[in-house]
Amino acid sequence: MNITTKFADLGLSEYGTTWELQEKLFNRIINQKKAGTDPTDNYLLFCEHPHVYTLGKSGSEDNLLLDMIQLQAKDAVFFKTNRGGDITYHGPGQIVGYPLLNLEKIVKGAREYIEKMEEAIILTLAHYGLKAERLDGATGVWLDTHIPAKTRKICAIGVRTSHWVSMHGFAFNVNTDLNYFKYINPCGFTDKAVTSLSAELQKPADIHEVKEILAKNLAEIYGLQLQKVSRDYLLNEM
């Protein structure tokens, strides 16, 4: 069963503005469910953010290694969010994905939802000849999990669900400036490295191509039929 899902690539989009859009779409789906609307709307948003650090509900501010003056010097901002997980970085060259989905017809539980998200990233990396995996005790997508000294994260995941509707999502490092990860303990880890697709390939990746492959994999994994729409279309729906 293919679930019609509006898909928009927002391009470079401020974190706060995008979060506000997410909340509106998220609440729209919840209200549709409460009203008995079937099917509800579903959305998949891709974007890149200007430099920003975000902290999940279970995270510690101690994992941000910069003060506010140092953040400004790095042209970065900081947000406390309502997603799961700890601290992470978003920036240009990173694909940030926000699925806003009525999960009842897609998965049987939150763990399955996250595992399918991880699987879509793993399949996308396989297209580029990289063997990616899950890491026991952690979310996200990793490389060389069997060699602790070399284990490195290429995609972070932090989600929120309410009324069995999803928001927030993943951050997939494609052409990301990895220096920005030096100023945090990524996802709370002090002993794990971070990498990107371009770092692994040792050349810049075509982020538009990666987005196309990733969107296709997400659609197949979750059983979605993607319908491309614009940012203006989404704003006009509100």
Angle, CA 24 vertex, CA 19 and CA 28 arms, to 5°: 145
- The mean pLDDT of 110-114, rounded to a whole number, is 95
pTM of the entire predicted model: 0.94
Instruction: Find out whether 59 and 86 touch, Cβ atoms under 8 Å.
Output: yes
Over residues 165-174, the pLDDT tens digits come to 999 999 999 9
Over residues 29-52, the pLDDT tens digits come to 999 999 999 999 999 999 999 999
> What are the E-state strand segments in the chain?
3-12, 43-48, 52-55, 77-80, 87-90, 94-100, 132-133, 141-143, 152-162, 165-173, 193-194, 224-228
How far is it, in rounded angstroms, from Cα 28 to Cα 40?
A: 9
The per-residue pLDDT for 231 is: 87
Query: What structural domains and CATH numbers belong to the chain?
Result: 3-237 (3.30.930.10)
Amino acid letter, 75: D
**Structure-token pair, residue 178:** 């990895």
To 10 degrees, what angle do helices 207-222 and 110-127 make? 140
Instruction: Find out whether 140 and 187 touch, Cβ atoms under 8 Å.
Output: yes
Report the chain's mean pLDDT, rounded to a whole number. 93
Over residues 199-221, the pLDDT tens digits come to 999 999 999 999 999 999 999 99
Band of the pLDDT at 191, cuts 50, 70, 90? low
Active site residues: 187
